Amino acid sequence: MSEIRYSKFDNQYVIIAPERFHKPLNMNSKPKTNDISSCPFCKGNEEKITREIFSIKEADSWVVRVVPNLYTALNLETEFKPKDRGFFESFEGFGVHEVIIDTPKHISIFEFQSTEYFYLLKSIKTRVDDLKKDIRVKYLSIFKNYGVNAGASQSHPHTQIIGMPIVPISKRELLLREYNYYKKHGSKLLADIVQEEIKEDKRVLFRYGKFVSFMPYASLFPFEVMITTVDDFFSFANLNDTNLDELATILQKSIDILHKEIGEFDFNIEFFEPPINSAFDTEEFFDSIERFHLFYIRIRPRIFNLAGFEVANDMYINPVEPEFIKRVLDEFR
């Protein structure tokens, strides 16, 4: 039987429709492996891409690199100012667009060890700490695309950071929702959700150190996983190397257990970082973010295409109950 669920966190309705589970899956878009000799992200091809911004090295050899995106969405050299277009509002395309090359190895993410995840997370933290020094940058979108259906154009493992002078409307609304919840209840919305998830124990996958992974009650995507903290961390800035190591482990465990059930699959990962500098539209709550927001990561498999209903209504149809997925995944422990 279908069910309409409401996500307190996303402020969205989701239709859970098990009857659609037998609709053909689109799971055959594994990215084709590039010829390593021409892959711009492989070790030895460093001259094929833009200058290095940051790297982590072991034994004088890089294990992760950060470079400007050659096909940048926004430009750091552009001044952020409005364009005079009368009724229609627009701004010059100021911003930052960086690529984290996760590893020198030309491998699938499903072959990652915890060390690859650790270095990736440490690189994200380092870049967050550095980019927040530029007060023109207000918000960082940090994400990974894997597979054609998830928007990946390079098969070599990489992650992207886009720094913007504005906060996306949906993210501002999320933060404002968390802020209002805190003012009403005196607690963090996501922390309360996590407490309920742990209490019910119907959708929790793993608990490790100060982190927990679970399938949200109103998952927007089938097999969607959220990772957050059982501590009060609100930002990458809070995380030390021990925390990053714990987070790397639970991230690896979560991806690996999905891989065991559904094989190679396309997905997006969102590493959410709250606004790094205050702006006119976040001024109301910016100084309170630490009190009401909780750090999180979302893994969103893209094994079904979005169709007309989702696009027209900004509302999702998920053909698999997260509780059912949890019971299936338990068999792989």
**pLDDT tens digits, the chain, 333 residues: what are they?**
689 999 999 999 999 888 665 544 444 444 445 567 788 899 888 888 888 999 999 988 999 999 999 888 888 888 887 777 778 888 888 999 999 999 999 999 999 999 999 999 999 999 999 999 999 999 999 999 999 888 888 889 999 999 999 999 999 999 999 999 999 999 999 999 999 999 999 999 999 999 999 999 999 999 999 999 999 999 999 999 999 999 999 999 999 999 999 999 999 999 999 999 999 999 999 999 999 999 999 999 998 888 888 888 888 899 889 999 999 998 877
pLDDT at site 258: 96
Q: What is the CATH number of the domain that holds 223?
A: 3.30.428.10
Residue 159 burial (CB count, 10 A): 23
Give the pLDDT of residue 35: 60
Short-list 141, 167, 189, CA closest to 283: 167
Tokens of 120: 């990736």
Single-letter residue type at 303: I
Determine the pLDDT at residue 146: 94
Give the residue from 203, 204, 333 showing the smallest Cα distance to 256. Answer: 333
CA distance from start to end of the chain: 29
Angle of helix 114-131 relative to helix 241-262, nearest 10 degrees, comes to 130
Neighbours of 229 (CB within 10 A): 22
Contact 148, 24 (CB under 8 A): no
Q: Is-contact 143 159, C-beta < 8 A?
A: yes
Q: How many domains does the chain have?
A: 1
Integer Cα distance of 139 and 123 in angstroms: 17
Asked whether the beta carbons of 96 and 131 are under 8 A apart, the reply is yes
Residue 139: partners with Cβ closer than 8 Å, 6 or more residues away: 163, 164, 166, 167, 168, 171, 275, 276
The residues pairing with 68 across neighbouring beta strands, listed in sequence order, are: 98
Rounded (to 5) percent helix, strand, coil in the chain: 35, 25, 45
pTM value surpassing 0.75? yes
Q: Identify the domain containing residue 326 by its residue range.
A: 3-332
3-state secondary structure of 114: helix
Selection from 193, 320, 121, 187 nearest residue 204 by Cα: 193
Specify the amino acid at residue 142: I
pLDDT at 83 (0 to 100) = 76
